[in-house]
Chain A
């Protein structure tokens, strides 16, 4: 499956990109497992506090990501 990953704020600094595509052999993947895969690529994320949104809605660790989903890595919000 193919999913889009988006990084914001501090997380875009760490990954040095705002968006990328991930190709996975699995047909679905839990957010928790996807996190470990991405953290393996960008080690510094392991020590960083962030939340995940799938298709623009906040997602828990057991949420199942599917083909074509958009997964956003969001650092603490700082609006206002």
Chain B
């Protein structure tokens, strides 16, 4: 391990509710993120009664048409160890910047068909204004910093590599 680089490991410092175990549990989900999973995540917050506002971003796989061919699915791969580290750092930056109660990031790996959800970002705070800003900050940071790659698979099974725009 290089001494010039920082590898932040989760420590057992006192953490606000919703942050326990941050950095240990995976942000990756195999395949699509289902509406059941999203619904259950919302339900789990009913016991956290200091929360007054949630905001949710859902990324959905779009049927782009590229050179006359229609995308049928995206197959996601990632440099998983580095991506988990990126998610952890993005989470820490968001907690430092915004007054949040908790936040969650989930990203798909493997095949996600068009119309299915591949990214689920969920922020909660006592008051509403902060959740709009925090969510945009998080989604933009994830797109910029997480080493996740998408193979856009066409209906005829040929493919191209997706680039974020």
Between A and B, 23 residue pairs with Cβ closer than 8 Å are: A8-B147, A10-B149, A10-B161, A53-B82, A56-B7, A56-B79, A56-B81, A57-B2, A69-B2, A77-B144, A77-B147, A77-B149, A78-B150, A78-B162, A78-B164, A79-B142, A79-B146, A79-B150, A79-B164, A80-B107, A80-B119, A80-B143, A80-B164
18 other contacts beyond A8-B79, A9-B77, A79-B142, with CB at 8 A cut-off?
A53-B147, A56-B7, A56-B79, A56-B85, A57-B82, A63-B4, A72-B82, A75-B149, A75-B161, A76-B163, A78-B163, A79-B83, A79-B107, A79-B148, A80-B59, A80-B139, A80-B142, A80-B164
Quick check: is A66 within 8 A (CB to CB) of the other chain? yes
Assembled-state Cα–Cα distance A66/B147 (Å): 22
User: Does residue B158 face the partner (Cβ distance < 8 Å to A)?
Assistant: no
Chain B residues with a Cβ closer than 8 Å to the other chain, count = 33
Q: For the side of the interface on A, what is the size category?
A: 20 to 34
Q: Decide yes or no whether B145 CB sits under 8 A from chain A.
A: yes
Contact with B along A2-33 (1 / 0, CB 8 A): 00001011100000000000000000000000
**A-side contacts of B83, CB under 8 Å:** 79
Residues of B within 8 A of A57 (CB): 2, 5-7, 82
A78-B2 in contact (CB<8A): no
